[in-house]
Amino acid sequence: MIDVEDLIALVRNYNPRTNSELIRKAYAYGLKMHEGQFRHSGEPYFTHPVAVAAILTEQRLDDATIITALLHDTIEDTRSTYTEVSEMFGAEIAELVDGVTKLTNLQLSSNASKQAENFRKLFMAMSKDLRVILVKLADRLHNMRTIKSMRVEKQAQKARETMEIFAPLAGRMGMQWMREELEDLSFKVLNPEARTSIIRRFVSLQKESGDVIPKITHDIRHLLEESQIDADVFGRAKRPYSIWRKMEEKQLAFSRLSDIYGFRVITASEMDCYRVLGLIHRRWRAVPGRFKDYISQPKTNGYRSIHTTVSGRDGKRVEVQIRTRQMHEVAEAGVAAHWSYRDGQRAANPFAVDPAKWLNSLTERFAEGDHDEFLENVKLEMYSDQVFCFTPKGDVIKLPKGATPIDFAYAIHTRIGNSCVGAKVDGIRVPLWTRLKNGQSVEVITAAGQRPQPTWLDIVATGRAKGAIRKSLREEDRSRFVKLGAELARVAFEHVGRKVTDKALRTAAKTLGLPDDIELLARLGSAELTAREVLESLYPELIARGADTIEPTRAVIGLGADQSFRRASCCQPLPGERIVGITYRGQGVVIHAIDCPALEEFEEQPDRWVDLHWQPGQHPPVYSASLKLTISNDAGVLGHICTLIGQQKANISDLQFMDRKPDFYSLMVEVEMRDVEHLHTLLTALEAETDVAQVQRWRDLARKP
């Protein structure tokens, strides 16, 4: 375990003005609180918080963050309290420790829905103070470095969680070194055979050709010395997971894989970066399509560098990154560079981004979405690479790899995206699903009255576009539901001899506890409310008077005096059809149509079968049946179909759109029928309509009875 004085010395290396007494106090407090606690490896538990603090000193972080690392598990795992930490170390540190504790309690590897909700909470915690996630990332890094002491199943769970969430998050924050190490440590757990294979092949390659890193490093240094450019040159082999990912993505064998070596040239000025680039391209042949200038077009997390790939010594491809020392500091620390210290002062690095603005850019677009949508969009943002395209005026638009003209339109303005009907790329008209490439000029064509289409969700690649499209579709759906609800209300009121009025709807809304008549119509159109419920709220006596002679509770003959029944949801039997009952302990009798395939599983259980038949006579229209319709996508067609169903004395209890195409709608309609004859009459009336392409009774045999 690192001694407290050694830890203070690490901090003093970049911050001579550090509050060493407060660090000593925190070290002693943490040691006392964790006394008697041990890690899975058998080491004293406090070795872990100290190691986390040491990792954070590598990023030259402030005293508050270092002390938070020392105390980050005290509130959760010891008798320490928020109040005590606040009194001893101040409100700032107490808030940070509490924030890390809340992050630790999030079960990020749970099911998808819960994970989405927790991901949102993670980002909300980050939004208060980004140093919370810096401590958490360092905590995860040390845990992954020492993961072998955990149970095998726990190792796999933590490795998957790290690969899916923490590694890409570190990368998105600009801490690429941490991302690479977290990925490789996870890879070692999840696929040890593949990682070992990569390492063996790499060792074999070195035996065949020698260690090329010092050779190429020498070549680059010699080139710079000849031109009198002051710069540092570093070379390294890429990590096994990075090599494995390239092999998987490009479907290449290791022997055919190029650029497994990477080199960095750290210069004194931006001008020298471009001079070095020119020298390298004159000395070695540049690989087409492998040049990126992140100095003129920096990433949102502040990353600046020139990337190029060249065919170096012996024809081996090598990647070269060229940047200034200040750019390198941000490249190593990412967003954390905002808190970096040098000589006791907050480092005034011009390339360090404001964490609040960075986080806001990542989360502001998802404030109104649901949890699953938020998770989808954040993952899109974190995993994306970037392409840079230009407007006709020359403005630069940053987009993730795979973006389309629709993404480009929404990146300009939501209004432009919503009204997009076409696009020109480099002056040529292209389909909206075209994937954009670096350097292309894009012109968006708009038209008044155009609205986003549901199919756009499968085309776009940015969270901003997906969120805007979904919002527009929700608004459009509400408008459509209000129109449909108005039609359903009109038919239902006519059915009982009344005329629908605004006053009647407002009264019904008030009775049902809804804010206004528009909300009532919207719920009626979306099947959250039935027309029968609306009528009962206004005219209960008419509904009661309209009830037929047979009570639904006495509709079936053959049941015992104490037996209740319900219709099977798989076959939805109607009066007039042959039926049989199956008994369920504690659930009464479930009625199936005699030809229902679900009955096959009860063939060996004859004692559960009950011989039943429907009560003869007039049944009330309360038995639901599902109809699958395909209708024309023209104005007024849906309303006309609803009217037709009402004219056949059937109520619509639910309506769902299954598929929406430019020319046809496919929908599922749940209608309340009297009996099978009533159903056949309705089907005949619908089949006769020219706007109905197809109609059939739908029995969902996959449903449980």
Active-site residues: which are they? 76-77
Burial of 156 (0-12, 13-18, 19+ CB in 10 A): middle
Can you tell me whether residue 683 is helix, strand or coil?
A: helix
The residue type found at 351 is F
| Chain-centre distance for alpha carbon 514 | 33
CB 305 within 8 A of CB 322: yes
Task: Centre a 10 Å sphere on the Cβ of residue 690 and count the other Cβ atoms it contains.
Answer: 7
H or E stretch at 643: helix 637-647
CB 426 within 8 A of CB 401: no
What's the rounded Cα separation, in Å, for the pair 633 and 76? 58
> Alpha-carbon dihedral of residues 628, 630, 635, 641, nearest 10 degrees?
-40
Question: Can you give the three-state secondary structure of 564-619, one letter per residue?
Answer: CEEECCCCCCCCCCCEEEEEECCCEEEEEECCCHHHHHHCCCHHHEEECEECCCCC
What's the rounded Cα separation, in Å, for the pair 408 and 443? 9
Task: Centre a 10 Å sphere on the Cβ of residue 226 and count the other Cβ atoms it contains.
Answer: 10
- Residues 699, 702, 704, CA angle at the centre, nearest 5°? 100
CB 320 within 8 A of CB 280: yes
If you count them, how many residues does the chain have?
705
**CA neighbours closer than 13 Å in the CB half-sphere of residue 318:** 28
Cβ contacts of residue 446 below 8 Å, gap of 6+?
Answer: 409, 416, 419, 420, 421
Read off the tokens for 592: 């199936």
**CA neighbours closer than 13 Å in the CB half-sphere of residue 531:** 31
What's the rounded Cα separation, in Å, for the pair 630 and 695? 7
Burial of 177 (0-12, 13-18, 19+ CB in 10 A): middle
Q: In the beta sheet, which residues pair with residue 213?
A: none
> Among 172, 256, 265, which residue's Cα sits nearest to residue 224?
265
- Residues 443, 448, 454, CA angle at the centre, nearest 5°? 80
DSSP string, 5-66: HHHHHHHHTT-TT--HHHHHHHHHHHHHHTTT-B-TTSSBTTHHHHHHHHHHHTTT--HHHH
Task: Centre a 10 Å sphere on the Cβ of residue 9 and count the other Cβ atoms it contains.
Answer: 14
Can you tell me whether residue 120 is helix, strand or coil?
A: helix
What's the rounded Cα separation, in Å, for the pair 321 and 193? 31
